[in-house]
Chains A and B, each alone.
Chain A
Amino acid sequence: MPDFALRTLGDQLINGLVIGNVYALIAIGLALIFGVANLINFAHGSVYMVGAYVGWVAVMWLGWPLAPTFVAVAVVCAALGVLIERFGLRHLQSQARIAPLLATIGISFALDQLVQIIFSPNPQAFSSPLPATRIALGGVSIGALDLLIAAITFAVAAVLFGFLRFTRLGWALRATAQDREAAQQMGVDVDGINALTFAVASVLGGIGGVMIGMYFTSVYPTMSYGAMLKGFAANLLGGLGSVPGAVVGGLLLGLIETFGVALLGSTYRNLFTFVILIGVLVLRPTGLFGARRALPPEPLTGTFVASSRPVRIPAWLVGAALVAAILLPFIATDPYLLQILTSAWLFGMLALSITLVTGAAGQMSLGQAGFLAIGGYASALLTMRLGLPVEASLLLGAVLAAALGTLLTWPVFRLRSQYVALATLGIGEVINQIILNWEDLTNGPLGLSNIPPLTFLGLPITQNVPIYWAALAVLAIAALFQWRLMQSHLGRTWRAMREDDVAARAFGISLNRYKALAFIASGLVAGLSGAFTAHMYSYINNETFAATTSILGLTMVILGGMGNLAGAVVGAIALTALPEVFRPLADARYLIYGIVLLLLVRFRPQGLLGTV
């Protein structure tokens, strides 16, 4: 029936444009912040989510009409944006660009969890107070909400255009984005402009959040993360930091996503975003239309490694700690404690793997959970489908994680700093999406159950204490492996690359090869941890190794000190165990993680034990 096909086509078009409008709003905000503060604002999605909740409270609890609702959203979000800029980011202006980026991740964790604590993690129904009637227009039906969203987006875009083009403050904002120091010398209060930019961007994000909440008739705390990535994909598509580019990119992304979902199914929705994100970053980092300039230069290498003298830990202390850890099960028999420590050992391996690429080699990786996932799924499937013994599948899983992970990360090697962070995050998500969608292999969202237990010399390990020892042993081996690497010629080369990649290249170091080696070594360790986890739990799905795990691992590394092996383990123990020790806080663990990250970046960027 061609008529039917035409109708759905038309409806899809409307649908795509409406969603695209909202993406455009989010992208404009990110573009403004990127332009003025040269920062990828990971907290933007959380502001959008807060906006959605403010709107939900106003409409569903207070029964407000739309106009005051939007005003309330704008006021709350503007205030939130100013607070984020003033207390979260302003002190970090002189630091490497990655420091404020990490701070925004911390802020985003904290905001998401706060909303979750206040309103519960469950989705809340959100029905718009608009009439539900739809107008039929030549085979296409348009609802009142569709029109409202389009009208608001265009109004906002027009107001913003006028503001930037014709007002004194708008000029100051553009001048600050183009040349901060020169703007200062014209008498522009650039800190004030920064705050203003965050306020404006946050208002746009918050309004986008309300509209999406009404459009999909629900709000939920985790809506933040995807929105931020979509906003950024849209922004990249149109050219980083370009406001008109953000509009076009947003609309394009909305259309691509809607038609893609119509063709392939709704589980593919996010895959498009991440493929676009990585594709544009790697192939055409200036965006589809922004041919004029290359990516804004990033100072030296990306990771922020504060200069400090690492705390020297004598060998006997490491030995004593290891012996104490081995003997612990004889003294403390509480199974709960052992479980927590077991998971600390596994997180320790994740932290080790991150500290290698991020701390030692200077590649800010936010996609490390992808390595865990490959290791876990590979090892589980090798035993379940091919009947391999678990000892072999663990190792093969680690090797596969290293190989596949490094291969997937390869295109990112040409990027630096913030862009590496964004791209690795995208790659982690792509791995997650592949697992979700490759149902024949991975069982999709249902996950793999009945994974064979860990074995040692053919004997199954299912008791708490042997699992604890096994995890400890694997961690110790991984740490030793990495320690040897760091002492070698390879370790020195990585650090040279981290300190100054241009100089390292001038000395004849092939950067790509050494980056690959770092990711391979890191992938081995992470893959082993993921594989171990899979057999220990006997069940995994795509959410076992979520993106938050990557960021949690990174926080552990920063807590312990970048590139510091002992620090990684200490950080893992601290962040795994602390929320459990303070049991009442366990529900707020991501709030704690977020705040810890924020405070660390601000007050102790070298971590507890110092960077190496």
Chain B
Amino acid sequence: MLSLEGVETFYGPLQVHFGVSLRVEPGEIVCLLGGNASGKSTTMKVILGLVKPRAGRVVFDGRPISGLPTPEIIRRGIGSVPESRRIFPDMTVRENLLMGAYTRRDRDEVRRDYERMLELFPRLRQRLNQRGGVLSGGEQQMLAMARALMGRPKLLCMDEPTMGLSPLFVDRVLELIRRVNQQGVTVFMVEQNANLALQIAHRGYVLQNGHIVLEGAAGELLGSPEVRDAYLGGGDGR
């Protein structure tokens, strides 16, 4: 469904990615793990077209998307839950949700999806007319997910979905990701917390200093001593 092929990116003279390649198959949850400054958030930006790779390409649904403007990439079926959520602070929860369907024209279907989201995330229903900026971190995370799903994406891209959440909300968010995936949405997530992410993921990649150093099924990675050595973050600190 999504693949990165030999992606190299730079911030000015600084190289971030050194030939990064990875694949996400339909129906999977794939997580990209890595510590600070490993290049994981930039990977997300490359997929979304916010950063253009200097070499290599990104292919989505069989067609290259690297080089396309971000709105076009979204229109092709990628939903984004940005890092630190980026809720529109002065728009109501309802308006935030409907902004997620910005690219869609099928009004009736949008209304149906809107109802579905409120069933999936009942907490949001109580907050519909409040400004997005006043929600708690966990509520904002749910709103960000619901907002992205309002676009009916084939692939949901999540950047650090558990960051800054209380442990209670972390479990709930992970459970929701699993549920969304079971309903047919492919998920690609970037996470610092390896143990958490590997609990729900099917497969994972480990990114270190701009290189993919490990890949494999979630179970293998979770047990492998290499992850513990190669990858510094993880559940120990939790």
| Residues of A in contact with B (beta carbons under 8 Å apart) | 168, 171-172, 174-175, 178-179, 181-190
Contact = CB atoms under 8 A, between A and B. Distances in A.
Which of A181, A182, A187 has most B Cβ within 10 Å? A187
B106 to A, nearest CB: 13
Main SS at interface, chain B: loop
A188 B82 CA distance: 15
B88 A185 contact: no
Contacts of B50: 181, 184
Given A174-B90, A183-B99, 10 more contacts: A171-B98, A172-B99, A172-B102, A174-B88, A175-B91, A179-B86, A181-B86, A186-B102, A186-B103, A187-B103
Given A181-B82, A182-B82, A185-B48, A171 B99 contact: yes
A186 B90 contact: no
A39 B74 CA distance: 27
B151 interface: yes
Nearest to B72: A187
A182 B151 CA distance: 14
Interface in B94-130: 95, 98-100, 102-103
Contacts of A171: 91, 95, 98-99, 102
Q: Interface residue tally of chain B, by bracket? A: 20 to 34
Given A174-B91, A175-B88, A178-B88, A185 B99 contact: no
B71 A175 contact: no
Interface of B: 48, 50, 69-71, 74-75, 80, 82, 86-91, 95, 98-100, 102-103, 147, 151
A189 B91 contact: no
Q: Which 3 A-B pairs have the closest CB atoms?
A: A182-B86, A187-B74, A187-B103
A188 B80 CA distance: 13
Nearest to A182: B86
28 contacts: A171-B98, A171-B99, A171-B102, A172-B99, A172-B102, A174-B90, A175-B91, A178-B88, A178-B89, A179-B88, A179-B89, A181-B50, A182-B82, A182-B86, A182-B87, A182-B88, A184-B50, A184-B74, A185-B70, A185-B74, A186-B74, A186-B103, A186-B147, A186-B151, A187-B70, A187-B71, A188-B71, A189-B71
A189 B75 CA distance: 11
Nearest to B105: A168
Contacts of B82: 181-182, 185
A465 to B, nearest CB: 53
B90 A188 contact: no
A286 to B, nearest CB: 15
Which of A171, A174, A186 has most B Cβ within 10 Å? A186
Contacts of A184: 50, 70-71, 74
Nearest to B74: A187
A186 B70 CA distance: 9
A186 B150 CA distance: 10
Nearest to A177: B90
Given A175-B91, A178-B91, A182-B88, A189 B99 contact: no
B42 to A, nearest CB: 14
Contacts of B98: 171
A183 B89 CA distance: 12
Which of B69, B70, B147 has most A Cβ within 10 Å? B70
B151 A189 contact: no
B99 to A, nearest CB: 5
A171 B94 CA distance: 12
Contacts of B99: 171-172, 175, 183, 186
Contacts of B102: 168, 171-172, 186-188
Which of B69, B88, B90, B95 has most A Cβ within 10 Å? B88
Nearest to A169: B102
Contacts of A187: 70-71, 74-75, 102-103, 151
Contacts of B103: 186-187
Which of A172, A183, A190 has most B Cβ within 10 Å? A183
Contacts of A175: 88, 91, 99
A250 B151 CA distance: 40
Which of A172, A181, A185 has most B Cβ within 10 Å? A185
A509 B30 CA distance: 49
Contacts of B70: 184-185, 187
A244 to B, nearest CB: 12
A189 B82 CA distance: 17
A189 B88 contact: no
Contacts of A183: 88, 99
Given A179-B88, A181-B86, A189 B69 contact: yes
Nearest to B85: A182
A481 B87 CA distance: 53
A181 B69 CA distance: 12
Contacts of A189: 69, 71
Contacts of B75: 187
Contacts of B90: 174, 178
B112 to A, nearest CB: 18
A318 to B, nearest CB: 34
Contact of A185 (B80, B89, B91): B80
A182 B147 CA distance: 11
A186 B91 contact: no
A182 B69 CA distance: 14
Contacts of B151: 186-187
A186 B91 CA distance: 14
B100 A186 contact: yes
Contacts of B87: 182
Contacts of A186: 74, 99-100, 102-103, 147, 151
Contacts of B89: 178-179
